[in-house]
Structure 1
Amino acid sequence: MSGPKTAPTSTLARAGLRAHWPALLGTGAVLALASTMTTLTGVLFESGLREPGGAGSLLVTVASSFSGTALVLVVMVVAATTTLALRGRRREFALLRAVGATRGQVRRLVATELALLSAVAAPLGGLPGLALARWLDPALVDAAIVEPGFRSTLSPLPVLGAVALVLPTAVLAGLLAARETVRAAPTAAVRESAAETAPVGPVRRVASLVCAIGGVSVAATPLVVPGTVGAALAATSAFLLVGAAALAGPLLVAWTFDRTARLTARRGGAPTRLALVNLRGFSRRLTTVVVPLALVVAVGTVQTTVDTALQRATTQQLGAAIGTPRVATSAAGLSGQQLATLAAAPGVDAVVTVADAPAELQTDADVPDSLGWEATTLRAVDPAVEPALLDPDVTEGSLGDLAGTDTVAISSDTAFDAGRGLGDRLRVRLDGHDATLRVVAVFDRGLGVGGELVSPATLAAHDVTPVVRLALVDGPAADAVPGTVPTADFVASATSPDAGSQHLSTLLTLLLLGFVALGSLNALLLLTAGRRDELRLLHRTGATARQLRRTVGVEAVVTAAAAWAVGTAAVVPAVVGVSAGLLGASAPALDLPAYAALSASVVTLAIATVLLTAVRIVRAATTTGDAR
Structure 2
Amino acid sequence: MWKLASSGVRAHRGAFAGTAVVLAVAAAVLAVTGVLLESGLRTQAAGDLASGGLLVSLASSYAGTLLVVVVMVVAATVSLALRSRRREFALLRAVGATPAQVRRAVTLEVGVVSLVAAPVGALAGLVGARLLDPLLVRAGMVAPDFTSALSPLPVLAAVALIAVTAVPVGRLGAREAARTAPTAALRLSAVEDREVGRGRRVTALVMTLGGLGTAFSSLWIPGTLGGATASLSAFLLIGAVALAGPVVVGWIFDRLARMRPGGRPATVLAVRNVRGFSRRLTTVVVPLALVVAAATVQTSVNRAVTTAAQQQFVAAVTADLVVTPAADAAPDDVAPDLAAPDLAAQVAAVPGVAAAVPLATVPGQVRTDSEGGALAWEATALRVVPAGTTALDPGVVRGSLADVGTADTVAVSTDTAFQTGAGVGGTLTLRLGEDVVDATVVAVYSRGLGVAGLIVGPATATAHGLPVVTDTLLVDVAPGADLAGTAAAITALGATAADPGTHVAAAMRSAGGENDVGTALLLLLLAVVAVGAASTLAMTTVARREELALLHRTGTTRRQLMAMTTVEATITGVTAWVVGTVAVVPAVVGVSAGLLGGPPVVDVAAYAVVSAGVVLFALVATALAARPTTRVATAVAS
- Normalising to structure 1: TM-score of the pair? 0.94
Task: Find the counterpart in structure 1 of residue 333 from structure 2.
Answer: none
Task: Find the counterpart in structure 2 of residue 597 from structure 1.
Answer: 609
Match of 1:618 among 630, 633, 636: 630
Q: Per-residue displacement from partner, 1:38-81 (whole Å, max 9, x unpaired)?
A: 11122211221222233411100000111111111111111111
Match of 1:140 among 136, 143, 164: 136
Task: Find the counterpart in structure 2 of residue 4 from structure 1.
Answer: none
Q: Which amino acid aligns with 2:466?
A: V
Q: Which amino acid aligns with 1:19?
A: A
Given that residues 181 and 193 in structure 1 are in contact (C-alpha distance below 8 angstroms), is that contact kept between their aligned partners in structure 2? no
1:354 aligns with 2:359: yes
1:300 aligns with 2:281: no
Task: Find the counterpart in structure 2 of residue 213 from structure 1.
Answer: 209
1:309 aligns with 2:311: no
Q: Which amino acid aligns with 1:136?
A: L
Distance 1:614 1:463, change over 3 A: closer
1:420 aligns with 2:415: no
Given that residues 326 and 479 in structure 1 are in contact (C-alpha distance below 8 angstroms), is that contact kept between their aligned partners in structure 2? no
Distance 1:336 1:283, change over 3 A: closer
Task: Find the counterpart in structure 2 of residue 3 from structure 1.
Answer: none
Q: What is the Cα deviation at residue 269 of structure 1?
A: 4.8
Q: How does 1:382-421 map to 2 (within 5 A)?
A: 382-386=386-390, 389-421=391-423
Q: What is the Cα deviation at residue 602 of structure 1?
A: 0.6
Given that residues 422 and 440 in structure 1 are in contact (C-alpha distance below 8 angstroms), is that contact kept between their aligned partners in structure 2? yes
Q: Per-residue displacement from partner, 1:567-596 (whole Å, max 9, x unpaired)?
A: 1111111111121222122x3221111101
Rounded to whole Å, the distance in 2 between the matches of 1:260 and 1:338 is: 69
1:483 aligns with 2:495: no
Match of 1:567 among 563, 580, 585: 580
Match of 1:502 among 510, 515, 520: 515
Distance 1:235 1:497, change over 3 A: farther
Give SS of 1:470's match.
strand
Q: Which amino acid aligns with 1:474?
A: D
Rounded to whole Å, the distance in 2 between the matches of 1:89 and 1:596 is: 37
Q: Which amino acid aligns with 2:586?
A: P
Q: Per-residue displacement from partner, 1:87-130 (whole Å, max 9, x unpaired)?
A: 11111111111111111111111111111111111111111011
Q: Which amino acid aligns with 1:612?
A: L
Give SS of 2:244's match.
helix
Q: What is the Cα deviation at residue 258 of structure 1?
A: 2.1
Distance 1:334 1:46, change over 3 A: closer
Task: Find the counterpart in structure 1 of residue 38 from structure 2.
Answer: 46
Q: Which amino acid aligns with 1:580?
A: A
Match of 2:381 among 343, 365, 377: 377
Task: Find the counterpart in structure 2 of residue 16 from structure 1.
Answer: 8
Q: Per-residue displacement from partner, 1:165-224 (whole Å, max 9, x unpaired)?
A: 111321222222222222211122112111113621111111110111000000010122
Give SS of 2:207's match.
helix
Unmatched 5+ stretches in structure 1: 1-8
Given that residues 564 and 599 in structure 1 are in contact (C-alpha distance below 8 angstroms), is that contact kept between their aligned partners in structure 2? yes
Given that residues 222 and 580 in structure 1 are in contact (C-alpha distance below 8 angstroms), is that contact kept between their aligned partners in structure 2? yes
Distance 1:426 1:442, change over 3 A: same
Rounded to whole Å, the distance in 2 between the matches of 1:433 and 1:349 is: 38
1:524 aligns with 2:529: no
Task: Find the counterpart in structure 2 of residue 607 from structure 1.
Answer: 619
Q: Per-residue displacement from partner, 1:2-54 (whole Å, max 9, x unpaired)?
A: xxxxxxx1111111111221221111111111111111122211221222233
Q: Which amino acid aligns with 2:182?
A: P
Given that residues 193 and 279 in structure 2 are in contact (C-alpha distance below 8 angstroms), is that contact kept between their aligned partners in structure 1? no
Q: What is the Cα deviation at residue 532 of structure 1?
A: 0.5
Rounded to whole Å, the distance in 2 between the matches of 1:32 and 1:248 is: 28
Rounded to whole Å, the distance in 1 between the matches of 2:118 and 2:627 is: 33
Rounded to whole Å, the distance in 1 between the matches of 2:41 and 2:100 is: 44
Rounded to whole Å, the distance in 1 between the matches of 2:116 and 2:152 is: 15
Q: Per-residue displacement from partner, 1:261-289 (whole Å, max 9, x unpaired)?
A: 22216x45543333223222221111011
Q: What is the Cα deviation at residue 436 of structure 1?
A: 1.9
Task: Find the counterpart in structure 2 of residue 225 from structure 1.
Answer: 221
1:98 aligns with 2:94: yes
Q: Per-residue displacement from partner, 1:318-349 (whole Å, max 9, x unpaired)?
A: 11111222232126864444422322333322
Given that residues 341 and 470 in structure 2 are in contact (C-alpha distance below 8 angstroms), is that contact kept between their aligned partners in structure 1? no
Q: What is the Cα deviation at residue 472 of structure 1?
A: 1.2
Task: Find the counterpart in structure 1 of residue 567 from structure 2.
Answer: 554
Given that residues 257 and 275 in structure 2 are in contact (C-alpha distance below 8 angstroms), is that contact kept between their aligned partners in structure 1? no
Moved more, 352-361 or 80-89: 352-361
Q: Which amino acid aligns with 2:604?
A: L
Rounded to whole Å, the distance in 2 between the matches of 1:325 and 1:428 is: 33
Rounded to whole Å, the distance in 2 between the matches of 1:497 and 1:78 is: 38
Q: Which amino acid aligns with 1:217?
A: G
Task: Find the counterpart in structure 1 of residue 443 from structure 2.
Answer: 441
Given that residues 235 and 302 in structure 1 are in contact (C-alpha distance below 8 angstroms), is that contact kept between their aligned partners in structure 2? yes
Task: Find the counterpart in structure 2 of residue 6 from structure 1.
Answer: none
Rounded to whole Å, the distance in 2 between the matches of 1:116 and 1:338 is: 66
Rounded to whole Å, the distance in 1 between the matches of 2:183 and 2:504 is: 72
Given that residues 16 and 113 in structure 1 are in contact (C-alpha distance below 8 angstroms), is that contact kept between their aligned partners in structure 2? yes
Distance 1:270 1:300, change over 3 A: same
Q: Which amino acid aligns with 2:490?
A: G
Rounded to whole Å, the distance in 2 between the matches of 1:268 and 1:256 is: 21
Rounded to whole Å, the distance in 1 between the matches of 2:219 and 2:383 is: 29
Task: Find the counterpart in structure 1 of residue 553 from structure 2.
Answer: 540
Match of 1:174 among 155, 170, 176: 170
Given that residues 309 and 589 in structure 1 are in contact (C-alpha distance below 8 angstroms), is that contact kept between their aligned partners in structure 2? yes
Given that residues 357 and 466 in structure 1 are in contact (C-alpha distance below 8 angstroms), is that contact kept between their aligned partners in structure 2? yes
Given that residues 228 and 581 in structure 1 are in contact (C-alpha distance below 8 angstroms), is that contact kept between their aligned partners in structure 2? no
Rounded to whole Å, the distance in 1 between the matches of 2:118 and 2:216 is: 37
- Normalising to structure 2: TM-score of the pair? 0.93
Q: Which amino acid aligns with 1:17?
A: V
Given that residues 43 and 154 in structure 1 are in contact (C-alpha distance below 8 angstroms), is that contact kept between their aligned partners in structure 2? yes
Task: Find the counterpart in structure 2 of residue 32 from structure 1.
Answer: 24
Give SS of 2:490's match.
coil
Q: Which amino acid aligns with 2:372?
A: V
Moved more, 444-453 or 251-260: 251-260
When the two chains are superposed, the root-mean-square deviation of aligned CA atoms in Å is 1.7
Moved more, 135-144 or 393-402: 135-144
- Deviating above 4 A after TM superposition, structure 1's stretches of 4 or more consecutive aligned residues are none
Rounded to whole Å, the distance in 2 between the matches of 1:252 and 1:272 is: 22
Q: Report % sequence identity.
A: 53
Rounded to whole Å, the distance in 2 between the matches of 1:78 and 1:120 is: 15
Task: Find the counterpart in structure 2 of residue 5 from structure 1.
Answer: none
Q: Per-residue displacement from partner, 1:468-496 (whole Å, max 9, x unpaired)?
A: 11111112325423125122332222233
Rounded to whole Å, the distance in 2 between the matches of 1:467 and 1:66 is: 33
Give SS of 1:420's match.
coil
Give SS of 2:113's match.
helix
Task: Find the counterpart in structure 2 of residue 283 from structure 1.
Answer: 278
Task: Find the counterpart in structure 1 of residue 369 from structure 2.
Answer: 364
Q: Which amino acid aligns with 2:519?
A: T
Unmatched 5+ stretches in structure 2: 328-336, 492-496
Match of 1:195 among 191, 197, 203: 191
Aligned pairs, number: 613
Rounded to whole Å, the distance in 2 between the matches of 1:198 and 1:494 is: 53
Q: What is the Cα deviation at residue 144 of structure 1?
A: 2.1
Rounded to whole Å, the distance in 1 between the matches of 2:254 and 2:324 is: 65
Q: What is the Cα deviation at residue 620 of structure 1?
A: 2.2
Rounded to whole Å, the distance in 2 between the matches of 1:311 and 1:108 is: 51
